[in-house]
A and B are shown apart, each in its own frame.
Chain A
């Protein structure tokens, strides 16, 4: 009986979804396990815009050296990350301070970058172009020069935005890129089939035990949210979980004061946090300047996490088991190291057994969508 009701709800959901789609819409069908997607009114999806975004996303000419594109660090073959790199490599193999987050399901996120300094995908796409350790342009002008002269781009922008070459702006460019990114929606993992699809055998017994740890003793679910009908595995909030900041504990106060005294603008923050390791570790504090955000970073989604090692904002943890152990230790990688003064109140020792750690790790491996599963 329960199963029957569940199917009805799913069916009703699909009907709603299809009936609400405008004719000619390019809105992506939502796979099992994900909520309905809303698109910004200012940037509706069209097939032509998505195709243009795809092309822009992969264009290496938008970097000072001509060999770095968005896709360099967000590679479709690596679940839209640059795994196994610890931190991203930009022009001249210059490295930043942070591990590339995936594009997949970013359409659902409410802030962007590890410290949430960007409010939407459109704004996010502006910054890597001009960051000195990413794509290295001085301004966005070289991008406009290309799209205003390249015949294919001229045609595509005319088609999508109805604009002549001379009136193409960087806003159009990032809107197209964001539209492309919003199509990278991925659910239907073994977990989704088990939890939302009624397939009792989609998870192994070990993974099912791991799910129990995930929602109970492991306390994972409080930030990596799972709901009754869907799971984004993020609360879209920021937490100090004892990564990065643990290494600068003795100088946090001085760094924070230096940072505040410098009175830098938000676009300078973008450069500062990617080029200065210690400023990077201040986390969201560098954005909000609130004590509560000291050393905190955005809750990462866990979907496809098995495909995107290494982990955490600085890529400092190599395996999922290392991550689980870090949390089991109460926010320190090496057991009995001192925790940092600003540790989030949700983080505390979990007292998991080795078997529970193995189970939880196995559960995390059940969150991979078919398109990113290791063949």
Chain B
């Protein structure tokens, strides 16, 4: 891939030209780099949970979500430079599920990168997934931005290798959201070592964007909205001026800022999860959810699902959420407050009641 290094200077110049991203996906705001030939956007699809029933039958609802997001992504203009699939392509990691999912992803008219989700991994530890989508973690540079894909859903070796009599049971145990037999996700020492080396080559003013399946921050352990070695990974990212972590897994819009790192979650194409405060019994250190998602109408299966396209006009990733039966939303880094914020609904008086949209 041909890429030309850009400097922090050119980014700052670009910021002046940055406007609020349009909410209409078809009219993308261009990424405001100083050199307009370097402008780009990318799209993000995640958590499709393709589920095999038997023979050639798959759960229709999950299929429709992925098919629709792929078809819509193909209509984006200007065209995104690439697409990221954020993990959990499969529900139980089987070959039929991964093959079926890969077939649907192959309809994308763009190059795409895949992140490993726990539902893809715990049957054969990502072996078949790798034959379809390549390595579990790696990095690349694109138009002056350093992109990193991490496999953040690993866990203790004991749990992975010794605890379960069969691979299938291991998969099933990790597939439950609130299953106490699960185990906290982690990036692990080996990958952190790799990450340290990878980052050593990068200038500190280069924008860094990390794609992981689980949040590289601690939200709620009971649902594995969690990465156990999050602080250690964050420490490796701390020296950089602008870092964005984009994660799937949580099936909802979340955003947070820890030091120099902006965190953004993406929507699932399959189904929404609520924010865990509705579930946790004991006091926890949940980050405050400022803008709740609209309540889903269960009749419309796509409601409260979606996908997103992104741009990096401030050196951080701004996310434009394409939501069904709802007003689309944009979460963008606000240089004034130094954190990601909802462009339209951040202020309490601008919120839409979660129950008024239908």
Task: Please report A residues at the B interface, Cβ cutoff 8 Å.
Answer: 219, 222, 235, 237, 252-253, 256-257, 260, 289-292, 294, 330, 339, 341-346, 348-349
Give the CA-CA distance A260 to B75 in the complex, in Å.
11
Give the CA-CA distance A349 to B60 in the complex, in Å.
10
Question: Which of A256, A260, A343, A345 has the largest number of chain B CB atoms within 10 A?
Answer: A345
Number of A-B contacts (CB under 8 A): 63
- Are B301 and A345 neighbours in the complex by a CB distance under 8 Å? yes
Verify if B227 is at the interface (C-beta below 8 Å from A).
no
Q: Can you pick out 11 interface pairs between chain A and chain B where the beta carbons lie within 8 Å of each other? A: A219-B299, A235-B358, A256-B75, A292-B323, A292-B324, A294-B72, A341-B67, A345-B61, A345-B325, A346-B300, A348-B60
Where chain B touches its partner, the secondary structure class is loop
- Are B71 and A260 neighbours in the complex by a CB distance under 8 Å? no
- Are A253 and B71 neighbours in the complex by a CB distance under 8 Å? yes
- Are B301 and A291 neighbours in the complex by a CB distance under 8 Å? no
CB neighbours of A235 from chain B (8 A): 358
Given contacts A348-B61, A348-B301, contact A257 B67 (CB under 8 A): no
| Shortest CB distance A39–B (Å) | 25
Given A257-B75, A292-B323, A294-B72, 6 other A-B residues pairs in contact with their CB atoms under 8 A: A260-B77, A292-B322, A292-B324, A330-B60, A341-B68, A341-B72
**Closest residue on chain B to residue A219 by CB atoms:** B299
Q: Which 4 A-B pairs have the closest CB atoms?
A: A345-B302, A341-B71, A345-B301, A345-B300
- Are A345 and B303 neighbours in the complex by a CB distance under 8 Å? yes
- B23-65: CB near A (< 8 Å → 1, else 0) gives 0111100000000000000000000000000000000110010
CB neighbours of A349 from chain B (8 A): 60
CB neighbours of B294 from chain A (8 A): none
- Are B64 and A291 neighbours in the complex by a CB distance under 8 Å? no
| Shortest CB distance B303–A (Å) | 6
- Are B61 and A342 neighbours in the complex by a CB distance under 8 Å? no
Give the CA-CA distance A293 to B153 in the complex, in Å.
36
**Closest residue on chain A to residue B325 by CB atoms:** A292
Our pick among B27, B60, B74 for the contact of A253 (Cβ within 8 Å) is B74
- Are B26 and A289 neighbours in the complex by a CB distance under 8 Å? yes
- B284-302: CB near A (< 8 Å → 1, else 0) gives 0000000000000001111
Our pick among A219, A290, A342, A344 for the contact of B71 (Cβ within 8 Å) is A342
CB neighbours of A344 from chain B (8 A): 300, 302
**Closest residue on chain A to residue B24 by CB atoms:** A289
Give the CA-CA distance A294 to B301 in the complex, in Å.
16
| Shortest CB distance B330–A (Å) | 14
**Closest residue on chain A to residue B70 by CB atoms:** A341
Q: Which of B14-30 contact A (CB under 8 A)?
A: 24-27
CB neighbours of B303 from chain A (8 A): 345
Given contacts A291-B72, A291-B75, A292-B325, contact A346 B301 (CB under 8 A): yes
- Are A260 and B301 neighbours in the complex by a CB distance under 8 Å? no
CB neighbours of B74 from chain A (8 A): 253
Give the CA-CA distance A319 to B268 in the complex, in Å.
39
**Closest residue on chain A to residue B322 by CB atoms:** A291
| Shortest CB distance B252–A (Å) | 17
Give the CA-CA distance A253 to B109 in the complex, in Å.
11
**Closest residue on chain A to residue B300 by CB atoms:** A345
| Shortest CB distance A249–B (Å) | 9
- Are B26 and A345 neighbours in the complex by a CB distance under 8 Å? no
| Shortest CB distance A248–B (Å) | 13
| Shortest CB distance A354–B (Å) | 22
**Closest residue on chain A to residue B302 by CB atoms:** A345
Q: Which of B66-98 contact A (CB under 8 A)?
A: 67-68, 70-72, 74-75, 77
Question: Which of B25, B27, B75 has the largest number of chain A CB atoms within 10 A?
Answer: B75
Q: Which of B291-329 contact A (CB under 8 A)?
A: 299-303, 322-325, 328
CB neighbours of A343 from chain B (8 A): 64, 68
Give the CA-CA distance A222 to B322 in the complex, in Å.
23
- Are A291 and B60 neighbours in the complex by a CB distance under 8 Å? no
| Shortest CB distance B174–A (Å) | 28
